[in-house]
């Protein structure tokens, strides 16, 4: 089946004229039509997808194709797409159609990729299960009774469920890597500044980064290469070239020094998950990697620090959504203030309102120094601890998620447990480090993710090592039990 091929395999088939770009896109649109009622991965598909596929075919026929020409891509619905509704899975942006493309979308279109549609997420990317979406539930292809993780759950479910070969997500505290772990696929957060944030609806501006989700490391690398590089429209964009993947398959694990933080293998990690990850690390040792336990004490403060900094930035960023400039407006408000209060009160979901209030409180007079400033100081300590570790080690390795995919509603009465799902992923966002998650085995028939983190700007080496690791663990890679 076309939809079981990787993006790399599809690219080879297209180049050899064994299949057309239209046939590929049609196959995915048909599969979405037939199966997304179960998965709930997409909020909407792109009506112009077949037109884009025909344009891609012209490039292929003219010998002007690149590796992503004609390849369908699913896009998280907090990334602006010209002419295609972008809601952030929130009622407050219902019906909003951006007049421009995010830079990563412009890059994909220039590469000849086909935008397949927009995927579900936790509202404004605030959540770890995609349950806070105001539109629908997204289900995990490994078990539809369980969540796909979040906030990029729609993109992860689309890739795992073979509704898209590759997808874009965004990662503020683990929102690419955690759903990749729960869905048994690959998810990468590049170094902060390597992927343009222009056109990404901001949540936490100092933390957000767009990145790829894919079924294997090679496909993730293709998408990372296509969507990175300097962008003058983004003030945080680094003035360096796109991620270079020419040496992806040329590395070795022999002699690689791997740090194993004891804080990421403690009581907060499900014992079954820990066993699977430790078994994977043993296999890396057998290939010549040198794995050493280290202590990074700041890790235990990561969740608390994140849940001060991220809501503070969200409080500022989401002030623009008032029912006046974007989206619908609630009826019945008295005067300007009343309209804004009513619109925001009715159209923001519970999780978003909670985080806005926490952030506003922490930034208020008398509390700024006690909360936000102190959190930034702890963040700096965490950055320094990790950078010092990277002076001695090539990578930091850990579980991606403390648990496997959990059932819907299972954590409704335990909001702290939901936030602790980001325990292992938050440090990479705090420090701006590149990090990647790939499947390393199964616990109770559900996927377990292995996370690799590297020093800033070592994205190429991270992908190279992830690819080798994937080959070492190749016998563990399975498809979910899908039609």
Q: Which residues are catalytic?
A: 76, 151, 175
What is the spatial distance between Cα 109 and Cα 89, in angstroms, rounded to a whole number? 24
Q: Note whether 253 and 289 are within 8 A (CB).
A: yes
DSSP strand pairing (435-443 vs 290-294)? unpaired
For 268-337, where are the E strands, in sequence order?
A: 290-294
Alpha helices in 233-298 (DSSP H): 271-286
Structure tokens at 210: 């767009």
Closest among 319, 337, 343, 310 to 91, alpha carbons compared: 343
Structure tokens at 275: 């066993």
Name every residue whose Cβ is closer than 8 Å to that of residue 166 and which is 6 or more positions away in sequence.
7, 71, 73, 74, 159, 212, 213, 214, 215, 219, 220, 222, 223
For 406, phi and psi rounded to 5 degrees?
Answer: -110, 160
Q: Note whether 25 and 33 are within 8 A (CB).
A: no
DSSP strand pairing (395-399 vs 446-453)? antiparallel
* 118: β partners: 44, 75
Q: Note whether 439 and 476 are within 8 A (CB).
A: yes
- How would you write 41-65 as a 3-class SS string? CEEEECCCHHHHHHHHHHHHHCCCC
Q: Note whether 87 and 326 are within 8 A (CB).
A: no
Q: Note whether 308 and 206 are within 8 A (CB).
A: no
| DSSP string for 198-209 | TTBPPSSTTT-E
Centre a 10 Å sphere on the Cβ of residue 120 and count the other Cβ atoms it contains.
Answer: 31
Closest among 163, 218, 154, 210 to 11, alpha carbons compared: 218
């Amino acid at each position: 089946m076309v939809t079981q091929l990787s993006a790399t395999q599809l690219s080879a088939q297209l180049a050899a004229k064994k299949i057309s770009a239209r046939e590929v896109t049609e196959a995915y649109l048909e599969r979405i039509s037939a199966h997304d009622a179960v998965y709930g991965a997409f909020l909407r598909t792109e009506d112009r997808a077949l037109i884009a596929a025909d344009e891609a075919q012209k490039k292929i026929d003219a010998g002007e194709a690149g590796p992503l020409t004609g390849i369908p891509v699913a896009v998280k619905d907090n990334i602006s797409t010209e002419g295609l509704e972008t809601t952030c899975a929130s009622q407050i942006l219902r019906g909003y159609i951006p007049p421009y493309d995010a830079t990563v979308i412009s890059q994909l279109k220039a590469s000849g990729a086909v935008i397949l549609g927009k995927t579900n997420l936790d509202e404004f990317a605030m959540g770890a299960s995609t349950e806070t979406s105001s539109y629908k539930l997204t289900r995990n292809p490994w078990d539809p009774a369980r969540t796909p993780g979040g906030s990029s759950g729609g993109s992860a479910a689309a890739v795992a469920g073979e509704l898209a070969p590759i997808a874009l997500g965004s990662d503020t505290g683990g929102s690419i890597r955690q759903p990749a772990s729960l869905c048994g696929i690959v998810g990468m957060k590049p170094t902060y500044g390597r992927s343009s944030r222009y056109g990404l609806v901001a949540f936490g501006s100092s933390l957000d980064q767009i990145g790829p989700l894919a079924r294997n490391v090679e496909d993730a690398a293709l998408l990372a290469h296509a969507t990175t590089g300097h962008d003058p429209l983004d003030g945080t964009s680094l003035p360096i070239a796109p991620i270079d993947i020419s040496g992806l398959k040329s590395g070795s694990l022999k002699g690689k020094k791997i740090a194993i933080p004891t804080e990421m293998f403690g009581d907060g990690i499900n014992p079954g998950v820990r066993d699977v990850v430790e078994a994977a690390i043993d296999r890396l040792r057998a290939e010549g990697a040198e794995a050493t336990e280290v202590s990074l004490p700041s890790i235990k403060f990561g969740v608390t620090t994140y849940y001060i900094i991220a809501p503070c930035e969200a409080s500022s960023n989401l002030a623009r959504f008032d029912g006046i400039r974007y989206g619908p407006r609630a009826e019945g408000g008295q005067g300007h203030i009343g309209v804004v209060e009513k619109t925001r009160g009715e159209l923001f979901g519970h999780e978003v309102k909670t985080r806005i209030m926490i952030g506003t409180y922490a930034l208020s007079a008398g509390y700024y120094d006690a909360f936000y400033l102190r959190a930034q100081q702890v963040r700096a300590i965490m950055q320094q601890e990790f950078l010092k570790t990277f002076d001695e080690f090539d990578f930091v390795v850990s579980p991606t998620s403390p648990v496997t995919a959990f059932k819907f509603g299972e954590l409704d009465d335990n909001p702290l447990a939901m936030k602790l799902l980001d325990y292992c992923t938050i440090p990479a966002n705090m420090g701006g480090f590149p990090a990647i998650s790939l499947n390393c085995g199964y616990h109770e028939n559900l996927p377990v993710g292995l996370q690799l983190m590297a020093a800033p700007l070592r994205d190429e080496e991270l992908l190279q090592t992830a690819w080798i690791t994937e080959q070492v663990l190749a016998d563990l890679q399975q498809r979910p039990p899908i039609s």
